[in-house]
């Protein structure tokens, strides 16, 4: 199966967002990845609903929303109303993860659990059957353009084993420092979905990078 590619809007030019979204619309990208930060769970603030509303209007790609916020469950109704497809919450932000995952599913969105680099794959043993996807962070979340953490490859392999052994159908998505080089290693390790910000939006020809990622 060809990898799915989700450009991360965090690296777009926010002063010319419509142009960058149009570039993604016309590309071979599968989804658009959107990073929401609260300055509490991560040491940065990105965008919220006033911006998201216009992204929903302008993007023709399914939206993959990565919530780097505490208490993400508070915003299930807003995300549902916007027609968001996948809602990604952090394992570390949800003491009652099972409840949150099921609330997301009940709202008609696809639930995704996200792991910070220091959170082991083994924490997912009891939730892997219930999620649409696992997002493995290959950098510490909060900023684009960081270097890929090599250990993420071992984590993806371990997660692939857990998924196979448990009979789960969960997809594996990876986010942070993904480019054509690390992307190839991740696909070999068992990843299904590549998220990339800097490697796409700061390239001279972003659509060609997206096309090349689809060929990995
Ligand atoms: C980081 C975000 C990423 C970010 C990735 O916290 O979750 O989606 O945009 O950026 P790159 O691909 O530049 O590492
Ligand atoms: Zn992200």
Domain of 98: which CATH number?
Answer: 3.20.20.70
Instruction: Specify burial of residue 38 (Cβ count, 10 A radius: 0-12, 13-18, 19+).
Output: middle
Total domains, the chain: 1
Q: What is the pLDDT of residues 30-80, one digit of tens each?
A: 999 999 999 999 999 999 999 999 999 999 999 999 999 999 999 999 999
Establish whether residue 175 lines the binding site of ligand 1, counting it when its CB lies within 6 angstroms of any ligand atom.
Answer: yes
Active site residues: 35, 175
Across 150-165, average pLDDT: 98
Q: Is the pLDDT of residue 1 over 90?
A: no
* The ligand 1 atom nearest the CA atom of 142: 6
User: Residue 58's domain spans which residues?
Assistant: 4-214
Exposure of 169 in the CB half-sphere (CA atoms within 13 A): 3
- Mean pLDDT, residues 101-110 taken together: 98
Other beta carbons within 10 angstroms of residue 95's beta carbon come to 9
Which residue's CA is the nearest one to ligand 1's atom 7? 141
CA angle 63, 64, 69 (to 5 degrees): 125
């Amino acid at each position: 199966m060809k990898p799915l590619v989700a450009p991360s809007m965090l690296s777009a030019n926010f002063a010319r967002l419509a142009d960058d979204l149009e570039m993604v619309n016309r590309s071979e990208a599968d989804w658009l990845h959107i990073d929401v930060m609260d300055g509490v769970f991560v040491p940065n603030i990105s965008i919220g609903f006033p911006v998201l509303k216009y992204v929903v209007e302008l993007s023709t790609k399914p939206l993959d929303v990565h919530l780097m916020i505490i208490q993400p469950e508070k915003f299930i109704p807003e995300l549902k109303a916007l027609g968001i497809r996948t809602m990604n919450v952090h394992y570390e932000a949800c003491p009652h993860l099972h409840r949150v995952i099921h609330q997301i599913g009940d709202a008609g969105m696809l639930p995704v659990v996200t792991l910070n680099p220091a959170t082991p794959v083994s924490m997912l043993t009891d939730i892997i059957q219930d999620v649409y996807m696992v997002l493995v962070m290959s950098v510490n979340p909060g900023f684009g353009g960081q270097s890929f953490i090599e250990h993420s490859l071992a984590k993806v392999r371990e997660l692939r084993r857990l998924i196979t052994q448990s009979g789960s159908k969960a997809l594996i998505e990876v986010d942070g420092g993904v480019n054509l080089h690390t992307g190839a290693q991740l696909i070999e390790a068992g990843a299904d979905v590549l998220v990339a910000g800097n490697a796409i939006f700061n390239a001279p020809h972003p659509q060609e990078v997206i096309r090349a990622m689809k060929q990995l």
